[in-house]
Structure 1
Amino acid sequence: MKTVIVYASVHHGNTKKLVEKIAEECKVDLIDAVQQPKADLADYDRIGFASGIYFSKFHQTILKFASENLPENKKVFMICTYGGNAAYKSLEVILKEKKTDIIGKFGCKGYDTFGPFKLVGGIAKGHPDEKDLEAAVSFVAGLQ
């Protein structure tokens, strides 16, 4: 199965660290949605979307990319890094409109200094760590 992960990693590189490890271990393609806001995803069997969580939402670049580029009826999975909590709803709304089959969700802590966390020097320092990377690889390797 041909798999791609479309990602946005804009602050500390947490998401990029995850997806690069996944790509290395699972032989998936990567598209940086910030650098490449348009892409043809028609030839992919499985499409992943990955970003940090910002005020309970996927990064706006990912939401826009999914709205504009995701073909209907695809198998899709989601990956997020977060300081507070995982939050998938913002992307799930778009995926539902596109009649996708959501085949999995993965989230892990990521160093976060966004918004109020900056005042306390950030949270989830040291994440994603090796255990997080291994768990992300296992998640993608186990997708059907």
Structure 2
Amino acid sequence: MKSVIIYASTHHGNTKKVVEAISKECGVDLVDATKVPEKDLSGYDAIGFASGIYASKFHQSVLNFASVNLPEDKKIFYICTYGAKGSYKSIEKVTAGRNATLLGTFGCKGYNTFGPFKLIGGTGKGCPTEKDLQAAVDFYKELDK
């Protein structure tokens, strides 16, 4: 399965660590939505959208990218890193109506120093862990069966 993951990782690089682990082991292409706002995705069998969670939403660059570039009738999957809990509603809202088939979702904790968490040194120190990265790779491998 030829796949690409569109991602944004702007806080501590949590999401980037996850998608790079998948890319390295599984040969998935990566596109940083904060740097590349448009790309033809028609040649991919599966398209992933990955982001840290910012105020309960995917990063705006990923949402914008999906809204402009996601072709009809594609297989998609979502990946997120989070401080408190994962949330896929914002990306689901953008991809709705594209007749996409959702293959699955993956989420894990990430190091978080946003807002008041900075005052206490952050939460999720050391996250994502090696175990989290392996779980992300395993998640993708299951999609590729």
TM-score range, shorter chain: over 0.9
The alignment covers a number of residue pairs equal to 144
Spell out structure 1 runs of 4+ moving beyond 3 A: none
2:138 counterpart residue number: 138
How far 1:98 sits from its partner (Å)? 1.6
What is the percentage of aligned positions where both structures have the same residue?
A: 62
Distance 2:118 2:73 in 1: 40
Instruction: Note the residue ranges of structure 2 that are not aligned, 5 or more in a row.
Output: none
Amino acid at match of 2:20: E
Calculate the TM-score normalised by the size of structure 1.
Answer: 0.97
- Match of 1:117, SS? helix
Distance 1:98 1:117 in 2: 37
1:9 counterpart residue number: 9
Which of 42-51 and 96-105 deviates more? Answer: 96-105
1:39 counterpart residue number: 39
Instruction: Note the residue ranges of structure 1 that are not aligned, 5 or more in a row.
Output: none
1:50 counterpart residue number: 50
Distance 2:125 2:97 in 1: 36
Distance 2:3 2:35 in 1: 19
How far 1:94 sits from its partner (Å)? 1.2
Distance 1:123 1:111 in 2: 6
1:88 counterpart residue number: 88
The answer as to 2:115 corresponding to 1:115 is yes
Distance 2:56 2:106 in 1: 15
Calculate the TM-score normalised by the size of structure 2.
Answer: 0.96
How far 1:138 sits from its partner (Å)? 0.1
